[in-house]
Structure 1
Amino acid sequence: MAQFISALTLVVDDYDKAIAFYVDVLGFSLIEDTVLSAEKRWVVVQPVFPKSQHAASLLLAKADGEEQRASIGNQTGGRVAFFLKTNDFHKDYQTLKEKGVCFLEEPRAEQYGHVVVFADPFGNKWDLLEHI
């Protein structure tokens, strides 16, 4: 049986702000943006990836209620939540830096590869990562 994680929910405070960051800044594809009601949309974005691989999508879900709003940017208790793998770390780092991405540290070399932590506009921490 072939299985893979198809999507993860990311709670945000604004659909359009999230689309602007993930599509216009990170270069993800907008897979779907369907209006479900006056307040709710089904918004799915996905990194561009080789056709031979499966990439998980992000379901951008606007917070509904105080409990969900409180989780924005802290869905993993302050840990890095997401890992964006690249095959050209230095180029992607420079491109994202030029686009104003908020990097929380300088790039570093680890045993497993090159990595740098950045934050999305909602406060979620991401690793930009290239395995060596």
Structure 2
Amino acid sequence: MKTLKREPRPADVRSPCHLCKKSGDYLITMHPLKDDPARDEPYIKCKPMQFKITRNHDDLIDSSSDSELDIEFTAPAAIARKPRKKPQVGHIDCQYDPSDFDGKSKKTARKTSKIDRQIKKINKISARC
């Protein structure tokens, strides 16, 4: 049989619902929670509500009712967690030359621009004639 390991809780955290069974009687203790989600203290400052559930002694059948049971329930909203720090992230941009993605190298681009200039000169000269 496996035993479950409990994570240690901070000392200031109380379970809002505590269920305990002793000698056939169930004792329920409830600590009411505040409605405000942004709170330092999640519990309302008042005495806890306590309920006792007993069986009818006439209906009691001799069984394992003498065993003890202890259950604590803590709602996720009742756990006061410290806000996590966001990791420091630096955004780095890449520098690139758009001609790198044209499929032509810089040298080829320079040569074609020189050729284009020469063609324009020839066209101007031929237009004069």
Q: TM-score, normalised by structure 1?
A: 0.20
Q: Which has the higher helix share?
A: 2
Give the number of the structure whose alpha-carbon radius of gyration is greater. 2
Q: Which has the higher strand share?
A: 1
Q: TM-score, normalised by structure 2?
A: 0.20
